[in-house]
Amino acid sequence: MILSEKTQKKILAEKNKYPQPKTAILPALYAVYEEFGYLSNETMKETGELLNIPFLEIVEVASFYTMFPKKPTGKYFLQVCTNLSCALLGAEDLVKHLEEKLKVKTGQVTPDGVFSIGRVECLGSCGTAPMLQVNNLHFQEDLTKEKVDKLLEELKKS
């Protein structure tokens, strides 16, 4: 298995939590994501084997959730919300700005492997739109181009 023993254990623990084995797909994918930063066919196949759920169903679920990257991402994966509220408040400009600044397109990783850009559907933070999130973890809200620049600087440093 490509999955580490730790991840395997986590997945198996999730499997036993729910009466419906399918319920464990998302938590299991989180565990995989945590280890690799993205989901590959191979890791999804193994997840299916561990959960005893057809590979196809794992891919279906994973494909529904845009927050799971299916390709390797940078150390910091910046996902810009481009749903309605954010879009109205300039999300597209932010994406363009990021692309120009980092010199990569959405979906690509910077050559040094530090950043990658993605889009994400509404994260429920419409009141503070536009926004982006870093690595499925940290929300950056009420964004402007300047705030984005500052964020990039900070991340580069850490």
Residues that bind other proteins in the complex, under the rule CB under 8 A: 41, 54-57, 59-60, 63-64, 66
User: How far apart, in Å, are the Cα atoms of 110 and each of 9, 10, 19, 33, 157?
Assistant: 33, 31, 43, 20, 16
Question: Residue 84 binds what, of other proteins, ligand FES, none (CB under 5 to 8 Å, by partner type)?
Answer: ligand FES
Beta-bridge mates of residue 77 = 116
Distance of alpha carbon 107 from alpha carbon 145, whole angstroms = 20
38 vs 55 by CB, closer to other proteins: 55
CB of 63 to other proteins, least distance (A): 4
Sheet of 138-140, strands arranged across? 115-120, 76-81, 132-134, 138-140
Q: Pick from ligand FES, other proteins, none: which does 42 bind, CB < 5 to 8 A by kind?
A: none
Positions in the binding site for ligand FES (CB under 6 A): 81, 83-86, 122-126, 129, 131
